[in-house]
A and B are shown apart, each in its own frame.
Chain A
Amino acid sequence: MTEQAVNTPAAQLEAAPPPLTSPPPLVQARALRHEFRRPGSGWGGLLGAGPSALKAVDGVDFEIRRGETFALVGESGCGKSTVARLLCSLYRPTSGQVLYDGTDVASLKGRAAQLPFRRRVQMIFQDPYASLNPRWRVEDIVAEPIRTHRLLQGREAVRDRVAELLQQVLLAPADGTKFPHEFSGGQRQRISIARALASNPEFLVCDEPTSALDVSVQAQVLNLMKSLQQRLGLTSLFISHNLAVVSHVADRVGVMYLGRLMEVADAQALFAHPRHPYTRMLFDAIPDLAMSGQERPAVIGEIADSLTPPSGCTFHPRCPHANNRCREVVPVLLPALGASVACHAVEEGRLR
């Protein structure tokens, strides 16, 4: 490494050992905002008017500590998948920052600067059928990160490593010569996991990795992911709409609604005592497998349109505890009752 390269953010990422004092969080999101411009707006379009920007993520703050699994939960349109992609730097945030190991990811300009970051962060996607290139053989798919980052020299070494990775995800080395379509959904997800692990990452972003799988296959994949994570000391962001799955894997949980975080808490605390009205509603809506026959409050309304979100607290039209302040003022995440909750009712003590 040459002298002048030492102080660039990229070099810092590559070289810096973890500090000796209480470790700072590995990943931080600060005031993260992301808007999607609708096609048809701007001078390229000729079609009519309408709101031109979709605020997918509207001011999100959270951090993920090393070795921890942080889950983001929410229904469709809440922005959790967008957050996942922002954290991987697949999109550039409209405003706000993503900090990885203390460095602002957006400040890494140019491919050379970004490469170390890309090695340390990997992603697993939801759709087992679209996440593998149908024309590539499995061994090439899994080897791609190794080759991109030139982690190993020589074809033998790469081939051996690929075999090792396939075995780690409980597939046979011989499966490397096959094509993706020869595998089932659960097996494909395992191939995706092998690919993600190929670059020896520290941080895994998992976007609904088991939502497309059958329950028994899901159990296999979740067990695998959990054991790998523990063995390799990985930090991960787990996105899901399924609270039960999240309860099984997460250390801390964030609940999102229409682009904002409503509640953040330790998993145990959240599942024992959900605080935010939306979190409670989600819990009430989950089918009761225990068949306790308990009467539960009816779910009110539907998720509002992301293009024209409600004013103030985005949840107020569906909240049984909404007052005037809720309609006008956006609540901020504040510590309360063992969690961080963005709710005026909780803040004002109207809700225990």
Chain B
Amino acid sequence: MGVTLGLIAGYVGGIADAVIMRLADVQWSFPAILIALLIDGVARNMLPRQMQDRIAIYVLVLAIGVSGWVQFARTVRATTMVEKSKEYVQAARVTGVHPLRIMLGHVLPNTLGPVLVIGTIYLAVAIIIEATLSFLGVGIPATRPSLGTLIRIGSNALMSGEWWITLFPSITLAAIVLSVNVLGDWLRDTLNPKLRT
């Protein structure tokens, strides 16, 4: 969602750009967790009890997604604006290529580099947000497993000296985040034609 909005904002410019960017600025000022909590809270109130448990995971995904689109949009917009002024885009316009094809076929592939990197970072962030929400008790219900829930339960048990219940989920979380980041870097380098030869 962020990628699409960013592409539109960067390529079309003008009023669309201004509106999307102002929206972004407004949302930027709210911390992600708060937004996630907000969405989650609204969902809980709006939906009947029985459904909550089942769709909790979708609400969570939505919450994390909505809270994070700004980063993607910003980056894609910046890259789009740079690429748009490059001559190969102008050449395509002179040739008469349809603007949609230019956006998707020419500009988008060249914006994906930074997006991939941010994507993997954000994947890590998403995992952490989910863990945090679960830790706070508002994420995945206790009936489903989650690292955050484990950490929470563990922190309760800290007092009784069973420290390992908190420690191991935490290490696992850190390890997942790290490997996702490395994966992202590798992915970005592999997809770069310049480094292939």
Contacts and interface: CB of A to CB of B under 8 A. Distances in A.
B86 A135 contact: no
Contacts of A44: 18
B169 to A, nearest CB: 41
Interface in A84-126: 85, 88-90, 111, 114-115, 117-119, 121-123, 125-126
Given A44-B18, A119-B96, A148-B96, A182 B91 contact: no
B88 A131 contact: yes
B106 interface: yes
Contacts of A132: 88
A311 B70 CA distance: 48
Given A44-B18, A179-B194, A181-B194, A134 B110 contact: yes
| Interface size band for A | 35 or more
B109 A123 contact: no
Interface residues of B, number: 20
B96 A195 contact: no
Nearest to B196: A179
B84 to A, nearest CB: 12
The B interface is mostly helix, strand or loop, or mixed, namely: helix
Nearest to A192: B91
B94 A118 contact: yes
Contacts, number: 68
Contacts of A268: none
Nearest to B108: A135
Given A135-B193, A179-B194, A182-B197, A130 B95 contact: no
16 contacts: A90-B90, A90-B94, A111-B98, A118-B96, A123-B91, A123-B94, A125-B87, A131-B87, A132-B88, A133-B106, A135-B109, A136-B106, A144-B92, A179-B193, A179-B194, A192-B91
Interface of A: 44, 85, 88-90, 111, 114-115, 117-119, 121-123, 125-127, 130-136, 141, 144-145, 148-149, 179, 181-182, 192, 195, 199
Interface of B: 18, 86-88, 90-98, 106, 109-110, 193-194, 196-197
